[in-house]
Chains A and B, each alone.
Chain A
């Protein structure tokens, strides 16, 4: 024990000195997400994934350009748009030019707007924004801007993939849509109505419900309603406690219909849903977990689990974002955000899951395969929340984004 601690302390000291010595050679990336407060679980998990990806996929491989290292610096935004702007200012104050954020489209909207204003007002001090998870379609459509890149599929792309699966299932005749009453929930509902209408006009939307976000104590009344509507499938964009509550109520009411979700996994949700959602909950997402797509990915995942046994790789796109950033820097031999952004536009990259992804230049939306997975405890190699349950991919749709062209994106590119 004593010996171990001495080693650890000296290692920490050594790391610190190494860090100070190398400080000039690190590229800092601000990770602005909730690291405290009720949404900290998702935020800190993402932070760990980002640090791990930077370490394993970039720094251990020699860094970027001529050996510069990535350093992920956490900034706690308490999931508040206002606090995010404060943290953005701090990050800029510390000389950081690259920021990452994912939780909440509201925050992403605030950040993309602030980054644009900052870059307009301070052209000598540019900032690039990597959005790894906020999926409101508007961010790459009417609200798109040159400094924002999205590495997750937007809500419409995911819905397109999801409805492909639903459309292929002839037993589904009635669909119930339920979501949180805000932009993302509404985008999910609108997307579902639109694509189902196009692909399967015979499907009846028996319910299209918005409930207040984070305020519902008991989802039983909703479950009662869903049951009464005799829906064959349920679509929801709920996340966090709202997802847990809904899944529980559906399970308790004995509703046997599949539930198509966006965020019903990891960060405690898989564990809480447990057996009640087995083979019922389906998730549309990027990045496959079970079966592990490649050995390289499996090793990566297991290495992560070894380092952070309590966390999961729930957002593989974080790694993609960082590696693509590194590639852009290597390509341009520059850390100037303007040049890097130019290089990112249209960049192609093969992930360690073996997927080919492309950053669409028109709207800065990453085009990538979308998977539909089921929540189960069978055939699980890499489980979530150490619960024995996890996601098994049932179907992967490779060009779900091709159908969704950018709309309303009028991007101003810097003149150079």
Chain B
């Protein structure tokens, strides 16, 4: 049991921090431009695919540096020539635009790289078990992912709180017009933040690709979860995104680890059920089975009872 808890905790944190790399960019973008970027996870996918292609020719480490930059540049282009243009049609159109973009990027990825899973592997020097605990390996690559995620988190924190750019960004979040009047080029800041947010997503893709698989559906699988995180954490709140990322990461690993079902609960109260009833599926429902829908349940509950999210202070 100790083993299970230890590894679930570790895995939960790895997943959570990975999710945070996506969620942080999404939250920054949202708080500045008020756009929930549906295509954010698509940039994550692009990161993985770019890194895959680069890794074939130049190796993993080059991909680690170059792919996020490429993705960031693409993000900047999308902001400059897509989002900024669509902005004139209003918020709903922006949301639909990013939705369409997500659809399009998936098609383009399939067009360029094909539909099957790509054999994108972790670099060989990281292919060893870092330590063994109760006979179970903890792969070095996971530790590497952890390290990168923490590094990014600290860097973000420092940039936002300590640097001039960070101050301008914070100002632009709260008072875009005022910041513009003070002589800062707000559209440029927007483009920059969008680009950096996408680059972060790309970086997450680069390091997640070998671990979680590089395939055309990878954006879809992760996309809505990241959405859930930024909403649950509170739109526009980085702290919230951080807490929610860890929460969702741990929730998902522990829900799988703990094998309890409704039936167990009923048995505590000595209630039996009819095995043929239409609700039979409800009674035999187990925690691992519903693990993937827990985030959405959380999302709906949060939106109903606390529309600002855990740490947020604005609703839409």
**Complex interface: chain B residues within 8 A of A227 (CB):** 3, 7, 135-136
**Complex interface: chain B residues within 8 A of A7 (CB):** none
**How far is A177 from B121 in the complex, measured between Cα atoms in Å?**
27
Residue B115 lies at the interface, judged by CB distance under 8 Å to chain A: yes
Interface string of A242-281 (1 = CB under 8 A from B): 0011001000111100000000000111011010000000
Chain A to chain B: the 9 pairs with minimum beta-carbon distance, closest first: A254-B137, A221-B256, A41-B116, A268-B116, A224-B7, A221-B253, A40-B115, A227-B136, A252-B139
**Complex interface: chain A residues within 8 A of B221 (CB):** 214-215, 217
Q: Is B11's CB under 8 angstroms from A221's CB?
A: yes
Query: In this complex, what residue of B is CB-closest to A39?
Result: B115
Q: Is A253's CB under 8 angstroms from B289's CB?
A: no
**How far is A106 from B216 in the complex, measured between Cα atoms in Å?**
22
Query: In this complex, what residue of A is CB-closest to B7?
Result: A224
Q: Is B137's CB under 8 angstroms from A272's CB?
A: no
**How far is A211 from B114 in the complex, measured between Cα atoms in Å?**
27
Which residue of B1, B14, B117, B288 is within 8 Å of A209 (Cβ)? B288
Residue A405 lies at the interface, judged by CB distance under 8 Å to chain B: no
Residue A80 lies at the interface, judged by CB distance under 8 Å to chain B: no
Question: Given A212-B292, A221-B11, A225-B257 in contact, is the A253-B137 Cβ separation under 8 Å?
Answer: yes
**Complex interface: chain B residues within 8 A of A211 (CB):** 256, 288-289, 291
Question: Given A209-B288, A268-B117 in contact, is the A254-B132 Cβ separation under 8 Å?
Answer: yes
Q: Is B3's CB under 8 angstroms from A267's CB?
A: no
A residues adjacent to B (C-beta < 8 A): 36-41, 181, 209-212, 214-218, 220-222, 224-225, 227-228, 241, 244-245, 248, 252-255, 267-269, 271-272, 274
Query: In this complex, what residue of A is CB-closest to B3?
Result: A228
How far, in Å, is A160 (CB) from chain B's closest CB? 26
Residue B213 lies at the interface, judged by CB distance under 8 Å to chain A: yes
**How far is A215 from B289 in the complex, measured between Cα atoms in Å?**
11
7 example contacts (A-B, Cβ-Cβ < 8 A) are as follows A41-B116, A209-B288, A212-B291, A217-B221, A224-B136, A228-B1, A272-B119
**How far is A72 from B7 in the complex, measured between Cα atoms in Å?**
51
**Complex interface: chain A residues within 8 A of B119 (CB):** 268, 271-272, 274
**How far is A267 from B118 in the complex, measured between Cα atoms in Å?**
11
**How far is A245 from B256 in the complex, measured between Cα atoms in Å?**
15
Residue B211 lies at the interface, judged by CB distance under 8 Å to chain A: yes
Q: Is A254's CB under 8 angstroms from B129's CB?
A: yes
Q: Is A267's CB under 8 angstroms from B132's CB?
A: no
Query: In this complex, what residue of B is CB-closest to A220?
Result: B11
In the complex, number of A-B residue pairs with CB atoms less than 8 Å apart: 105
Residue B4 lies at the interface, judged by CB distance under 8 Å to chain A: yes
Query: In this complex, what residue of A is CB-closest to B215?
Result: A241
Residue B8 lies at the interface, judged by CB distance under 8 Å to chain A: yes
How far, in Å, is B131 (CB) from chain A's closest CB? 11
Residue B15 lies at the interface, judged by CB distance under 8 Å to chain A: yes
Q: Is B212's CB under 8 angstroms from A218's CB?
A: yes
How far, in Å, is A368 (CB) from chain B's closest CB? 28
Which residue of A210, A228, A267 is within 8 Å of B116 (Cβ)? A267
Q: Is A224's CB under 8 angstroms from B15's CB?
A: no
Residue B252 lies at the interface, judged by CB distance under 8 Å to chain A: yes
Query: In this complex, what residue of B is CB-closest to A243?
Result: B117
**How far is A297 from B129 in the complex, measured between Cα atoms in Å?**
42
Question: Given A221-B257, A224-B8 in contact, is the A245-B213 Cβ separation under 8 Å?
Answer: yes
Q: Is A254's CB under 8 angstroms from B212's CB?
A: no
Residue B168 lies at the interface, judged by CB distance under 8 Å to chain A: no
Residue B222 lies at the interface, judged by CB distance under 8 Å to chain A: yes
**How far is A255 from B139 in the complex, measured between Cα atoms in Å?**
12
Q: Is A225's CB under 8 angstroms from B115's CB?
A: no
Residue B166 lies at the interface, judged by CB distance under 8 Å to chain A: no
**Complex interface: chain A residues within 8 A of B222 (CB):** 217
**How far is A227 from B225 in the complex, measured between Cα atoms in Å?**
27
Question: Given A41-B116, A268-B117 in contact, is the A215-B212 Cβ separation under 8 Å?
Answer: no
**Complex interface: chain A residues within 8 A of B216 (CB):** 38
Residue B217 lies at the interface, judged by CB distance under 8 Å to chain A: yes
Q: Is A244's CB under 8 angstroms from B213's CB?
A: yes
Which residue of A36, A225, A252, A254 is within 8 Å of B256 (Cβ)? A225
**Complex interface: chain B residues within 8 A of A216 (CB):** 292
Query: In this complex, what residue of B is CB-closest to A181?
Result: B289
Which residue of A36, A38, A221 is within 8 Å of B252 (Cβ)? A221
**How far is A194 from B3 in the complex, measured between Cα atoms in Å?**
31
Q: Is B213's CB under 8 angstroms from A241's CB?
A: yes
How far, in Å, is A138 (CB) from chain B's closest CB? 18
Other A-B pairs beyond A225-B256, A245-B212, 9, CB < 8 Å: A217-B218, A217-B222, A220-B253, A221-B8, A221-B257, A225-B257, A228-B136, A255-B136, A268-B119
Interface string of B111-134 (1 = CB under 8 A from A): 000111111010000000100101
Q: Is B117's CB under 8 angstroms from A244's CB?
A: yes
Query: In this complex, what residue of A is CB-closest to B132?
Result: A254
**Complex interface: chain A residues within 8 A of B225 (CB):** 217
Which residue of A210, A225, A272 is within 8 Å of B117 (Cβ)? A272
Query: In this complex, what residue of A is CB-closest to B135?
Result: A227
**Complex interface: chain B residues within 8 A of A245 (CB):** 212-213
Q: Is A224's CB under 8 angstroms from B257's CB?
A: yes
Q: Is A218's CB under 8 angstroms from B115's CB?
A: no
**Complex interface: chain A residues within 8 A of B4 (CB):** 224-225, 228
Q: Is B117's CB under 8 angstroms from A214's CB?
A: no
* CB under 8 Å from chain A, chain B span 204-224: 211-213, 215-218, 221-222
Query: In this complex, what residue of B is CB-closest to A249?
Result: B211
Q: Is A252's CB under 8 angstroms from B15's CB?
A: no
Interface string of B276-294 (1 = CB under 8 A from A): 0000000000001101100
Q: Is A224's CB under 8 angstroms from B215's CB?
A: no
**Complex interface: chain B residues within 8 A of A218 (CB):** 11, 15, 211-212
Q: Is B129's CB under 8 angstroms from A212's CB?
A: no
**Complex interface: chain B residues within 8 A of A215 (CB):** 221, 292
The interface centre, meaning the residue of B8, B117, B216 with most chain A CB atoms within 10 A of its CB, is B117
**How far is A255 from B222 in the complex, measured between Cα atoms in Å?**
27
Q: Is B211's CB under 8 angstroms from A41's CB?
A: no
**Complex interface: chain B residues within 8 A of A37 (CB):** 115
How far, in Å, is A339 (CB) from chain B's closest CB? 39
**Complex interface: chain A residues within 8 A of B289 (CB):** 181, 210-212
